[in-house]
Amino acid sequence: MESYNSFHVAQKQVAEAAKLLNLDRATVELLSYPQREFSCTLPVKMDDGSVKIFHAYRIQYNFARGPAKGGIRFHPDETVDIIRALASWMTWKTAVVDLPLGGGKGGVVCDPKKLSERELENLSRAYIRAVAEYIGPEKDIPAPDVYTNPQTMAWMMDEYETIVHRHQPGVFTDKPLQIGGTEGRRDATARGGVTTVREACKILDVNPHGRYAIQGFGNAGQRAALLHEEILGGGKLVAVSDSRGAIYNPDGFNPKDLVTHKLTTGTVRSFPGAQQISHEEILELDVDVLYPAALENAISELNAEKIKAKIVCELANGPTTPEADLILFRKGVHVIPDILASAGGVTVSYFEMVQDSYSYFWDEDLVHKRLDQKLTKAYHSVQQAMVQKRVHPRLAAMVVGVARVAEACKLRGWV
């Protein structure tokens, strides 16, 4: 379990940004809590004929800028406070990249690894039956998250359409292409993150063709490995890690070969010619760019002083603790915070919503071009706030996001 209450961390971040923005007390309180929460109890028939009860949630954090947007995760350690925090961060994330959306998040407390495909489908459909009245293209648009995927969205969309008796693909994003998904979604999170690294290299005069390391070699980490050279025009991948081990080669790895090996064997640990290092060491290597793409709280006050990377691009949710943020800022390490670095996914999800709304789909090059424009503009907005307010990048990103949501709340007359 996490060592921090994620929601308390999220509330503290809102308070810090609000103080810099001189927001009034009512606005601060409004932005510190979800606007709407649902708790559901789901009876699901199992393969052996028994019925198992699952507990589930949907948190709709803020609607000021548009309908709620955020993933649904299936996880055995899910708690309502984790989902509240994630819904809060989605609110600021959509605002930072200037999308006409709010923030939301959902979760089902379950261990998907112990469920058959049919049981997962039954659970997915049960969840939608519980929340169908409260979601929709103009209310709340879910997407995949931890241990859910495009197939999960396909089941959920089908159940929703069965209930409302009409075709409505825009109610979910990151669907299979064949039923209203978009080109360019698979690598969107990593592509957005690497795009912000490119911009950071320009501003900080960091060598874009230098050494980089990736902590966490799941989907986002693998995509970052493949995209770093494409977007930055070069670079040497010297270290990667997954849950089973960490490897290092000062001469660099071939990203394509490494991804193929991971997909074939399930781990990077046995990659030929690699030197084994510890999970702690990969974070402390002397590299130009470090991509934390694994679990939360990986960089804390315990190891922040040892971080040597010039740029830390957070592809994971919350990999840096609040204490570590201050240490890294003092050391001159440039952190691209998760609500900016990983915003490529929700940006392309928004593009999917737009395409679904008028049943006309863009080619992949156009998706990539518009994603690049959005993330580039967002990076420089955060950089500008960082310089103006003289704060670390995460607080700067929060200032940008909170300011935009607060303005929408005031224009509506809520506060």
Q: Which residues are the active-site residues?
A: 105
> Using N-to-C axis directions, what is the helix angle for 80-96 and 364-389, rounded to 10°?
90
Reference 226, options 200, 259, 196; nearest CA is 259
Contact 339, 92 (CB under 8 A): yes
DSSP SS3 for 298: coil
Q: What single letter denotes the amino acid at residue 375?
A: L
CA 142 and chain centroid, separation: 13
Determine the Cα–Cα distance for residues 390 and 350; give it in Å rounded to an integer: 31
* Tokens coding 273: 């010619």
- The secondary element (H helix, E strand) that includes residue 119 is helix 117-131
Place of tokens 């709407």: 36
Query: Residue 71: left if φ>0, alpha if ψ -120 to 50, beta else—which one?
Result: beta
Q: Retrieve residue 128's tokens.
A: 């939608």
Identity of residue 75: H
Helix (H, G, I), strand (E, B) or coil at 237: strand
Q: Report the DSSP pairing between strands 36-45 and 51-62.
A: antiparallel
Is the Cβ–Cβ distance between 143 and 171 less than 8 Å? no
Q: Is 218 left (phi over 0), alpha (psi -120 to 50) or beta?
A: beta
Q: Is the separation of the CB atoms in 290 and 265 below 8 Å?
A: no
